[in-house]
Amino acid sequence: MRWAERSLARTTREAAIRSRREGKSTMATKQVIDRQKSANSVVQIGTTQLGLLLPELAKELGLSDEGPVGILLETSLKRLAKVRDELVAADDALSAEDSQDTGARAARERAMEAAFERIVQVRGAIQNAFGDAIPEPVFGAGSTPTDPNRLLAYGRNATAQLGKVAFPAPLEGLSIDPAALASGLTAKLDALATALNAMAAEERETQLARQQRHQALEVFDRVFTAVARQFEGYFKLTGHDELADRVRPSTRRPGTTVSPPTPE
């Protein structure tokens, strides 16, 4: 039985897992886009209306100098813009890591297929040369594993056994070199080990990128809510209810405004 036939079930399961992961990633990216649009809207409204808001706010609060309040509001808007950009960068980094995962996964599949096929070839060559009594001590009972890590261990054990088993004379008219078989199999297994290590490294980097994106989301939601409420309150205080409604943060959808963001 060839590789494709043996690994059909495993490939199907992995495809389903990848689809779920990709679906989750796509949803998360949409959440980032929605947050980015809402932040852009609050920053735009806050910046363009600052000249209107500050004199009225100073008058309402009885301030002789609007400068300190202006510095506070400008700094708040800059902080919101900063965490927005950090969130977008973290999301882009995660998308890049997901893409690299795809390449590493494809390389692992190619290396695994090559190792699997070589094991099948070596097993078949020994069976043809020595009959059915020899392969079991070399490869063990049961079918060839389709899990990459189990396949690597299975192949390493078979390679070691090829150097230990006392082979009888091959069947008449046949010749075989166990050392050469072991050498060829070792090369395929080394390539598989390299691919597995690369895949593991990519998965660690992706997990780190996912954690960093999650942290960026938490920081953004906290800052966005605070700044949006700040401007909502000041707009209400100065009688600009329509502007207050446009920057009001949603309690149901963190990091976004209740009203649709201002078109960019």
Q: What is the residue range of 134's domain?
A: 25-247
Mean confidence (pLDDT) of the chain: 86
**Per-residue pLDDT tens digits for 210-222:** 999 999 999 999 9
**Per-residue pLDDT tens digits for 218-246:** 999 999 999 999 999 999 999 999 999 99
Domain contains 186? yes
The first and second tokens of residue 44, run together, are 């735009």
163: DSSP letter: T
Domain contains 10? no
Domain contains 259? no
- Beta carbons within 10 angstroms of residue 114's beta carbon: 17
Q: What is the pLDDT of residue 262?
A: 66
Contacts (Cβ under 8 Å, ≥6 apart) of 121: none
CATH number of the domain where residue 197 is located = 1.20.1260
DSSP character string of 207-231: HHHHHHHHHHHHHHHHHHHHHHHHH
pTM of the predicted protein model: 0.73
Domain contains 253? no
Domain contains 241? yes
What φ, ψ does residue 53 adopt, rounded to 5°? -70, -45
**Per-residue pLDDT tens digits for 57-92:** 999 999 888 889 999 999 999 999 999 999 999 999
Q: Please give the C-alpha separations between residue 206 and each of 21, 96, 203, 228, in angstroms, as whole numbers.
A: 12, 9, 5, 32
Which candidate, 217, 227, 263, 264, places its Cα nearest to that of 247?
A: 227
Tally the domains of the chain: 1
**Per-residue pLDDT tens digits for 97-144:** 988 888 999 999 999 999 999 999 998 888 888 776 565 678 877 889
**Per-residue pLDDT tens digits for 24-70:** 444 458 899 999 999 999 999 999 999 999 999 999 999 888 889 99
Binned at pLDDT 50, 70 and 90, residue 171 comes out as low
Name the more confident of 261 and 132. 261
Q: What is the pLDDT of residue 264?
A: 61
246: three-class secondary structure by DSSP: helix
Residues paired with residue 257 on neighbouring β-strands, in sequence order: 249
Domain contains 17? no
Q: What is the pLDDT of residue 257?
A: 96
E strand or H helix that includes residue 104: helix 67-130
Which candidate, 144, 139, 151, places its Cα nearest to that of 192?
A: 151
Q: What is the pLDDT of residue 133?
A: 59
Q: What is the pLDDT of residue 256?
A: 96
**How much is the average pLDDT of 170-194?**
86
Domain contains 18? no
| Cβ atoms of 197 and 203 closer than 8 Å | no
Indicate whether 15 pLDDT > 80.
Answer: no
Contacts 24+ apart (CB under 8 A), 134-138: 134/165, 134/167, 134/168, 137/161, 137/165, 138/162, 138/165
**How much is the average pLDDT of 178-202?**
94
Domain contains 19? no
178: three-class secondary structure by DSSP: helix
Q: What is the pLDDT of residue 150?
A: 95
Place of tokens 């390449």: 103
Q: What is the pLDDT of residue 227?
A: 98
